Structure 1
Amino acid sequence: MKINVFWIIALVAVVVAPRGEVTMAAETVTCDPEELSPCLEAITIGTPPSKDCCDKLTEQMPCLCGYIKDPNFGKFINTPNAEKVQKSCGISLPKC
């Protein structure tokens, strides 16, 4: 089963999810799915993702497994538009 995180992004932009922190090297990433809202149009309408969308998706990479495993978001990950966003941004999903 191919996992695609971009429907999670769309749902997250609408629903407020719990926030947490993940430490990466010398920086801290706040796991806030709302940060991925720049990808909403690309996922729901199918427009090409913006640079901001790709940047935010890359920034939130340490959080993606948590988003994928969340039952509220996990069911939205296998969609054609979400896969297009992933490919356009050059993002490989983590193995969770």
Structure 2
Amino acid sequence: MAAAKATRTLVCIILLVAAVMMMAVPGEAATCSPTQLSPCAPAIIGNAAPTAACCGRVKAHPASCLCKYKKDPNLKRYVNSPNGKKLFAACKVRLPSC
């Protein structure tokens, strides 16, 4: 049972990374890449507490990028999810209103 849950979680993370990779824009890769938030995947997908690395990445990520993610059909479900909102609250990062 635990192995099946771990497999599902891994598949979700892989799908998230794949979705993120598909939306990467070459000119904005250095400043607005959702893959920079990969340390936050367990908190968003698996309901784990965000790590210090995750919070550091979220705090360093430009608000304009978060707005893009909120509007992107592939990513908005993660940003706007209950776990996403918990992550921003736990990291003391205000989610921008876009």
Alignment correspondent of 1:61: 62
2: distance between equivalents of 1:74 and 1:30? 19
User: Alpha carbon RMSD of aligned pairs, Å?
Assistant: 2.2
Deviation larger for 47-56 or 71-80: 71-80
Stretches of structure 1 that go unaligned for 5 or more consecutive residues are 1-9, 22-28
Alignment correspondent of 1:88: 90
Question: 1 or 2, which has the higher strand percentage?
Answer: 1
Question: 1 or 2, which has the higher helix percentage?
Answer: 2
Residue pair 2:70, 2:80 contacting (<8 A) in 1 also: no
CA shift, 1:12, in A, is 4.6
Alpha carbons of structure 1 residues 34 and 76: separation in structure 2 relative to 1, 3 Å: same
**SS of corresponding position for 2:78:** coil
Cα deviation code 1:11-41 (max 9, x no counterpart) = 65342122343xxxxxxx6100000000001
Task: Give the AA of the match of 1:65.
Answer: C
Cα deviation code 1:54-92 (max 9, x no counterpart) = 111111133111111112212333322222111110011
Q: List aligned pairs for 1:1-96, cutoff 5 A.
A: 12-15=16-19, 16=21, 17-19=23-25, 20-21=27-28, 30-62=31-63, 63-96=65-98
Stretches of structure 2 that go unaligned for 5 or more consecutive residues are 1-12
Percentage identity across aligned positions? 39
Give the alignment's TM-score, normalised by structure 2: 0.68
Alpha carbons of structure 1 residues 33 and 12: separation in structure 2 relative to 1, 3 Å: farther
Larger Rg: 2
Give the alignment's TM-score, normalised by structure 1: 0.69
